[in-house]
Amino acid sequence: MAKNAIRYYSKFGHTKKMVEAVKDIVGAEPQLVSVPLLEPVDTLFLGAGVFLGKVNGSVMDFIQSLTPDKVKRVVCFGSCAIIKSPVPQMRQALQAKGIAVSDKEFTCSGSMGPVKAGHPNDADIKAFKEFVRTVLDQ
């Protein structure tokens, strides 16, 4: 059976809402990026948001702690209110480390005050659950 892990950073609670919704599907307890991977995993779900146009530095520090022998593939996801997605920043850092990144990715809206208010909403969470199931069925 495949070993999966979830790591995330959530400044405003959007990404936390997402990971809590899929932990049973993934079969792993979500952990903050401050918790290192102690054993190899087949699939790492890595989530973040964007603040002031950047993924949080702790996410990038976590990525720097990873090695290809520790992670077979990473599936990136997140939320954002203004820019298109946090995924390209994470993907670039992971690929620079020689870590395989799934071509499947997920981004939904995250609220920032009145901008995208109420997101991620129930429809976003439902779509994320379907995305995770699809990725795990590959």
Q: Is the pLDDT of residue 26 over 80?
A: yes
Burial class of residue 72 (count of CB atoms within 10 Å of its CB; 0-12, 13-18, 19+): middle
pLDDT of res. 114: 66
Query: And the tokens for 46?
Result: 């890595």
- CA 2 – CA 57 distance, rounded (Å): 29
Q: What is the pLDDT of residues 61-93, one digit of tens each?
A: 999 999 999 999 999 999 887 777 899 999 999
Task: State if pTM tops 0.85.
Answer: yes
Instruction: Give the torsion sign (CA, 54, 58, 61, 63).
Output: negative
- CA 15 – CA 73 distance, rounded (Å): 20
Q: Is the pLDDT of residue 115 over 70?
A: no
pLDDT of res. 50: 83
Of 5-19, 59-73, 98-112, 119-133, give the lowest mean pLDDT range.
98-112
127, 106, 54, 60: CA torsion to nearest 10: 120
> Which residues are bridge partners to 76 per DSSP?
46
